[in-house]
């Protein structure tokens, strides 16, 4: 990987609770001001004060699908987005938010950019134009490559989120990921949540540097990962993102030690299982704080 990462680098999958809540933010939108700036700043500052080393912009502006489908052409927004024409790139989608995040962070942390994957977007739409899931997903991949290239000038790591890969893994997955990452020179990460045990041997074939999965909700995945030869770093989900209970430092450090046994310390990054969007803000922050403390215990730097 062409970037020097801290030992057992701490990061996030991406999303963070919106503060104030998203409904209030939409109502508050007036005078040409962008109320999401405050929400983005809150998310970034919460991650930094928890001690996270590779932070995200928090994706507080919208959910992972609408964040992109509302800004691409060829889509009519209904409760489920409807594809009515060829998917096209109208212009920057998350670029401004990443610039703002970078500005807020300064040199206090690294920044991870996040794009919702072409397959997940395709599976989330009603297709009234392409008549083929593969063509629709490729349409998204080509459009989003333009976003990826711009983001790679701003962020330190670029991640594609493809939760739908664990539901159905398309045989053209490699083509989608190489298309979206074409021309991107910074480290590339791939987050797939859910149970990836059956597809892990295929995920390691993808042209990415980091594979990021839910090892806390699916601890059995560690046996599968141990049995397969691969070169990528592992984003090791070591706190649950689907339960409000904040795990103790002891529980998290035990999980981290198992992860080290599984792939070795030099190839491990630590993060929650998935995005934290649906947790109360104080719970999300406490989970990150305990994750950082557990990491420091494991590397013998607990003070
Ligand atoms: Zn996820």
Taking the alpha carbons at both ends of the chain, their separation in whole angstroms is 30
* Tokens, residue 53: 């080393």
The stretch 178-189 carries a mean pLDDT of: 98
* Tokens, residue 180: 């979206």
Distance 213 CA to ligand 1 centre (A): 8
Distance 194 CA to ligand 1 centre (A): 7
With a cut of 80, say whether residue 203 has pLDDT above it.
yes
Q: Are strands 126-127 and 82-89 parallel, antiparallel or unpaired?
A: parallel
Distance 130 CA to ligand 1 centre (A): 27
What is the strand order of the sheet 82-89 is part of?
72-76, 82-89, 126-127
Distance 33 CA to ligand 1 centre (A): 31
With a cut of 90, say whether residue 157 has pLDDT above it.
yes
pLDDT band at residue 174 under the 50/70/90 scheme: very high
pLDDT for 242? 97
Task: Give the DSSP letter of residue 6.
Answer: P
pLDDT for 24? 60
Distance 159 CA to ligand 1 centre (A): 12
With a cut of 80, say whether residue 13 has pLDDT above it.
yes
Domain positions in the chain? 22-62+153-298
Return the CATH architecture of domain 22-62+153-298.
Alpha-Beta Barrel (3.20)
Distance 297 CA to ligand 1 centre (A): 26
pLDDT tens digit string along 273-284? 999 999 999 999
Distance 195 CA to ligand 1 centre (A): 11
Distance 286 CA to ligand 1 centre (A): 19
pLDDT tens digit string along 214-248? 999 999 999 999 999 999 999 999 999 999 999 99
pLDDT for 44? 97
pLDDT for 81? 97
pLDDT band at residue 28 under the 50/70/90 scheme: low
Distance 49 CA to ligand 1 centre (A): 23
pLDDT for 36? 84
The DSSP element (H or E) to which 148 belongs, if any, is helix 133-151
């Amino acid at each position: 990987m062409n970037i020097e990462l801290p030992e057992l680098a701490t990061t996030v999958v991406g999303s963070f609770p919106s503060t104030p809540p998203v409904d209030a933010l939409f109502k508050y939108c007036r005078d040409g001001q962008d109320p999401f700036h405050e929400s983005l700043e809150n998310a970034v500052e919460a991650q930094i004060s928890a001690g996270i080393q590779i932070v995200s912009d928090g994706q507080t502006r919208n959910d992972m699908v609408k964040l992109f489908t509302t800004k691409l052409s060829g889509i009519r927004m209904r409760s489920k987005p409807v594809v009515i024409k060829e998917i096209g790139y109208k212009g920057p989608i998350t670029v401004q938010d990443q610039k703002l995040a970078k500005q807020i962070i300064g040199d206090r942390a690294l920044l991870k950019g996040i794009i919702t994957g072409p397959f997940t977007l395709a599976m989330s739409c009603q297709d009234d134009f392409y008549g083929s899931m593969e063509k629709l997903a490729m349409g998204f991949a080509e459009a989003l490559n333009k976003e990826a290239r711009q983001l790679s000038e701003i962020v330190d790591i670029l991640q594609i989120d493809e939760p739908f890969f664990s539901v159905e893994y398309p045989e053209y997955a490699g083509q989608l990921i190489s298309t979206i990452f074409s021309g991107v020179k910074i480290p590339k990460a791939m987050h797939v949540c859910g149970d990836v045990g059956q597809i892990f041997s295929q995920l390691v074939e993808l042209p990415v540097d980091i594979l990021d999965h839910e090892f806390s909700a699916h601890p059995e995945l560690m046996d599968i990962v141990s049995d397969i030869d691969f070169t990528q770093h592992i984003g090791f989900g070591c706190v649950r993102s689907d339960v409000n209970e904040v795990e103790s430092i002891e529980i998290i450090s035990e999980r981290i030690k198992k992860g080290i046994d599984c792939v070795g310390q030099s190839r491990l990054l630590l993060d929650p299982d998935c995005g934290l969007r649906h947790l109360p803000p104080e719970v999300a922050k406490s989970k990150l704080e305990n994750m950082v403390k557990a990491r420091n215990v494991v590397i013998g730097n607990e003070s």
